Amino acid sequence: MNLWPFVLYAALVLITAGSMIGLSAILGERHKERFTNQPYEGGILSEGTARARFSIKFYMMAMFFVVFDLESVFLYSWAVAARDLGWVGYWEALIFIGVLVAALVYLWRLGALDWSPDTRRKTR
Protein backbone atom coordinates (compact mmCIF):
# COMPACT_ATOMS: atom_id res chain seq x y z
CA MET A 1 0.00 0.00 0.00
CA ASN A 2 1.00 3.57 -0.39
CA LEU A 3 2.52 4.89 2.78
CA TRP A 4 3.48 8.26 1.43
CA PRO A 5 0.41 10.28 2.35
CA PHE A 6 0.68 9.03 5.91
CA VAL A 7 4.36 9.79 6.20
CA LEU A 8 3.86 13.21 4.69
CA TYR A 9 0.98 13.94 6.99
CA ALA A 10 2.91 12.86 10.05
CA ALA A 11 5.89 14.94 8.95
CA LEU A 12 3.72 17.99 8.43
CA VAL A 13 2.21 17.59 11.87
CA LEU A 14 5.64 17.37 13.45
CA ILE A 15 6.96 20.32 11.44
CA THR A 16 4.00 22.52 12.26
CA ALA A 17 4.10 21.77 15.96
CA GLY A 18 7.86 21.99 16.08
CA SER A 19 8.07 25.26 14.24
CA MET A 20 5.38 26.84 16.39
CA ILE A 21 7.29 26.13 19.54
CA GLY A 22 10.74 26.44 18.05
CA LEU A 23 10.23 29.70 16.22
CA SER A 24 8.63 31.41 19.17
CA ALA A 25 11.49 30.25 21.33
CA ILE A 26 14.05 31.65 18.92
CA LEU A 27 12.31 34.78 17.78
CA GLY A 28 10.32 35.70 20.85
CA GLU A 29 11.42 38.36 23.29
CA ARG A 30 12.66 37.44 26.68
CA HIS A 31 12.06 39.49 29.73
CA LYS A 32 13.07 38.83 33.20
CA GLU A 33 11.64 41.71 35.13
CA ARG A 34 9.72 41.81 38.31
CA PHE A 35 6.22 41.48 36.90
CA THR A 36 6.99 39.34 33.90
CA ASN A 37 5.20 36.36 35.34
CA GLN A 38 2.17 38.28 36.57
CA PRO A 39 -1.18 38.09 34.73
CA TYR A 40 -1.68 41.05 32.47
CA GLU A 41 -3.77 44.07 33.49
CA GLY A 42 -7.31 42.73 33.85
CA GLY A 43 -6.33 39.44 35.47
CA ILE A 44 -6.66 38.75 39.13
CA LEU A 45 -3.49 38.31 41.12
CA SER A 46 -3.12 34.72 42.16
CA GLU A 47 -3.14 33.90 45.80
CA GLY A 48 -2.23 30.79 47.80
CA THR A 49 -1.33 27.38 46.42
CA ALA A 50 -2.94 25.75 43.43
CA ARG A 51 -3.38 22.57 45.44
CA ALA A 52 -6.43 23.73 47.29
CA ARG A 53 -8.37 21.08 49.16
CA PHE A 54 -12.03 20.84 48.44
CA SER A 55 -14.62 19.23 50.60
CA ILE A 56 -15.34 15.62 49.72
CA LYS A 57 -18.91 16.64 48.93
CA PHE A 58 -17.89 18.29 45.70
CA TYR A 59 -16.59 14.97 44.50
CA MET A 60 -19.66 13.22 45.81
CA MET A 61 -21.78 15.60 43.87
CA ALA A 62 -19.76 14.99 40.73
CA MET A 63 -19.95 11.25 41.15
CA PHE A 64 -23.67 11.24 41.73
CA PHE A 65 -24.09 13.34 38.68
CA VAL A 66 -22.09 10.94 36.56
CA VAL A 67 -23.98 7.95 37.89
CA PHE A 68 -27.43 9.35 37.26
CA ASP A 69 -26.41 10.99 34.03
CA LEU A 70 -25.20 7.65 32.68
CA GLU A 71 -28.34 5.99 33.91
CA SER A 72 -30.48 8.41 31.97
CA VAL A 73 -28.32 7.95 28.89
CA PHE A 74 -28.82 4.22 28.96
CA LEU A 75 -32.51 4.45 29.70
CA TYR A 76 -32.96 6.94 26.89
CA SER A 77 -31.39 4.66 24.37
CA TRP A 78 -33.48 1.80 25.68
CA ALA A 79 -36.66 3.87 25.58
CA VAL A 80 -36.17 4.59 21.90
CA ALA A 81 -36.20 0.91 21.08
CA ALA A 82 -38.36 -0.31 23.94
CA ARG A 83 -41.10 -1.81 21.75
CA ASP A 84 -38.63 -3.68 19.57
CA LEU A 85 -36.76 -5.07 22.53
CA GLY A 86 -39.95 -6.39 24.12
CA TRP A 87 -40.16 -7.93 27.55
CA VAL A 88 -36.58 -9.14 27.61
CA GLY A 89 -35.40 -5.59 27.14
CA TYR A 90 -37.82 -4.47 29.81
CA TRP A 91 -36.43 -6.89 32.34
CA GLU A 92 -32.91 -6.00 31.46
CA ALA A 93 -33.64 -2.33 31.99
CA LEU A 94 -35.29 -3.25 35.27
CA ILE A 95 -32.20 -5.15 36.44
CA PHE A 96 -30.07 -2.22 35.45
CA ILE A 97 -32.17 0.19 37.49
CA GLY A 98 -32.30 -2.34 40.33
CA VAL A 99 -28.52 -2.50 40.55
CA LEU A 100 -28.30 1.26 40.56
CA VAL A 101 -30.92 1.46 43.28
CA ALA A 102 -28.96 -1.05 45.31
CA ALA A 103 -25.88 1.10 44.95
CA LEU A 104 -27.88 4.15 45.93
CA VAL A 105 -29.21 2.39 49.02
CA TYR A 106 -25.70 1.40 49.93
CA LEU A 107 -24.43 4.97 49.60
CA TRP A 108 -27.40 6.27 51.49
CA ARG A 109 -26.87 3.87 54.37
CA LEU A 110 -23.23 4.80 54.37
CA GLY A 111 -24.17 8.43 54.91
CA ALA A 112 -23.05 9.73 51.56
CA LEU A 113 -26.30 11.66 51.18
CA ASP A 114 -26.11 13.35 54.55
CA TRP A 115 -25.27 16.80 53.55
CA SER A 116 -24.24 18.71 56.65
CA PRO A 117 -21.35 17.49 58.74
CA ASP A 118 -23.20 17.31 62.07
CA THR A 119 -25.96 14.99 60.93
CA ARG A 120 -23.51 12.58 59.50
CA ARG A 121 -23.53 9.34 61.41
CA LYS A 122 -20.49 7.55 62.44
CA THR A 123 -20.65 4.31 60.60
CA ARG A 124 -17.34 2.98 61.44
Partner 1 sequence: MSSADFVALLPLIVLGATAIVVMMSIAFRRSHALASTLTLVGLAVAFWSLWPAAGEVPRQVTPLLVIDRFALYYFGLIIAATFAVVLMSYGYLERHDVRREEFYVLLLVAALGSAVLVSSDHFISFFLGLEILSVTLYALSAYLTERGIALEAGMKYLVLAAASAAFLLFGMALVYAETGTMSFPQLASDFAAGGAAHLWVLAGIAFMVTGFGFKLAVVPFHLWTPDVYQGAPAPVTAFVASVSKGAMFAILLRFFYQSGSRDLHATLLIFGIIAIASMIAGNLMALFQNNVKRILAYSSIAHLGYLLVAFEAGGLFGAAAGTFYLTAYMITTLGAFGVIAVLSASGRDAEDIEDYRGLFWRRPGLATVFTVMLFSLAGIPLTAGFLGKFYTVAAGTNSSIWVLIFVLVATSVIGLFYYLRVVVALFATEHIPSDAERPLPVVPAMGGVTLGVLALALIWLGVYPHVILHAIQSAMSGIF
Say how far apart CA 26 and CA 91 lie, in whole Å. 65
Do 96 and 77 form a contact (C-beta atoms < 8 A)?
no
Minimal distance, residue 53 CB to partner 1, in Å: 16
Minimal distance, residue 110 CB to partner 1, in Å: 7
Of residues 74 through 103, those in contact with partner 1 by CB under 8 A are 88, 99, 102-103
Binding test (CB under 8 A) with partner 1, winner from 65, 68, 90, 106: 106
Binding of residue 53 to partner 1 (CB under 8 A): no
For partner 1, which is the closer residue by CB, 57 or 109? Answer: 109
Say how far apart CA 23 and CA 16 lie, in whole Å. 10
**Helical ranges in the chain per DSSP H:** 4-27, 56-80, 82-110
Binding of residue 1 to partner 1 (CB under 8 A): yes
Binding of residue 56 to partner 1 (CB under 8 A): no
Binding test (CB under 8 A) with partner 1, winner from 31, 51, 53, 124: 124
How far, in whole angstroms, is CA 100 from its chain's centroid? 21
By C-alpha distance, which of 68, 70, 71 is closest to 93?
A: 71
Binding test (CB under 8 A) with partner 1, winner from 110, 113, 114, 120: 110
Q: 89: which residues sit within 8 A by CB, 6+ positions away?
A: 78, 81, 82
Task: Give the binding site for partner 1 (CB under 8 A).
Answer: 1, 3, 88, 99, 102-103, 105-106, 108-110, 123-124
